[in-house]
Amino acid sequence: MTAIIILKFTWTGFTISFLCISLGLILLILAYKKLLAHLGKGKITHTDFCVLYPLENPNVSGELELYYTCEHLIPVKINILNSDLVFVKNIYDKTSKIGGNIIRCDLETFDLGDYFYELKTDKQRTMKKFRIVKKA
């Protein structure tokens, strides 16, 4: 009869231990999820940024035609920089339209050579290289 009581006591202890370990694991998982949510609060979303597309042909003469897209109304500046990344000219300084935007710039007053065009917002600065060549 004592063997049966010890067996019941052991089974009850095992059940209680199993439930305590399970509860501890559940609490640990919930704390981990809470920590991940807290660390992800300042997460960068790509919808806050514009996408500046490269030129079809980086050798340009006459007119520069830039294309970029934005998913929100964002104040955008587009500048031309020389090969040393020194500001040359601002060609666009407005709030962008949602979706695709095409910006054109006359290059007749620029010298031949390498330049960069940059798109600037409050949160981003993106640059692409192009070269002004003689008209064919």
The pLDDT score that the predictor gives to residue 8 is 55
The pLDDT score that the predictor gives to residue 16 is 84
The pLDDT score that the predictor gives to residue 115 is 94
Task: Say how far apart CA 88 and CA 77 lie, in whole Å.
Answer: 13
- What residues of the chain score a pLDDT lower than 70? 1-9, 42, 136
The pLDDT score that the predictor gives to residue 69 is 93
pTM comes to 0.65
The pLDDT score that the predictor gives to residue 41 is 73
The pLDDT score that the predictor gives to residue 134 is 86
Could you tell me if 76 and 119 are in contact, meaning their C-beta atoms sit under 8 angstroms apart? Answer: yes
